[in-house]
Amino acid sequence: MKITCLIEYKIDPFKLSQFEKYAKNWGKIIPQCGGDLLGYFLPHEGTNDVAFGLITFSSLAEYEAYRERLCSDQAGKRNFLFANKERFIVSEKRSFIRVVEATYKQDVRVKK
């Protein structure tokens, strides 16, 4: 069973471009460290201070191994420092979720 780490960020809406740069950096770093990056999602309409990152792993043990690799990765360290210096992340929280297989990526075409 795969799990997805859902990271919910509360961000400074006046520093959206810095957060977007941070997210783009993870686009290269996360896969190199072993995460299956589904994507980062920025606010578009409505709430302007919430963003999301979704990363899938084969297990919680694989997530823990990934976190160790990420924390020792030089590009990862630079991205964490960038976030700390620029202070565009107000808070973040992680949830671990799993898909209900019968609902995932359903074919939307009407069957006759």
Note the pLDDT tens digit of each residue in 2-35.
999 999 999 999 999 999 999 999 999 999 999 9
33: Cβ contacts below 8 Å, ≥ 6 apart: 66, 69, 70, 73, 76
What gap in Å lies between CA 67 and CA 76, rounded to an integer?
10
Say what percent of the chain tops pLDDT 70: 96
Query: Is the CB of residue 49 less than 8 Å from the CB of residue 11?
Result: yes
Q: Which residues pair with 97 in a beta bridge?
A: 4
The arithmetic mean of pLDDT across residues 82-94, rounded, is: 97
What is the model's pLDDT at position 103?
Answer: 82
Q: How many CB atoms lie within 10 A of CB 106?
A: 7
Q: List b or e across 14-47, with b for residues whose CB sees 16 or more CB atoms inside 10 angstroms.
A: ebbebbeebbebbeebbeebbbebeebeebeeee
Task: Read off the pLDDT of residues 30-51 as tens digits, 9 standing for 90 and up.
Answer: 999 999 999 999 999 999 999 9
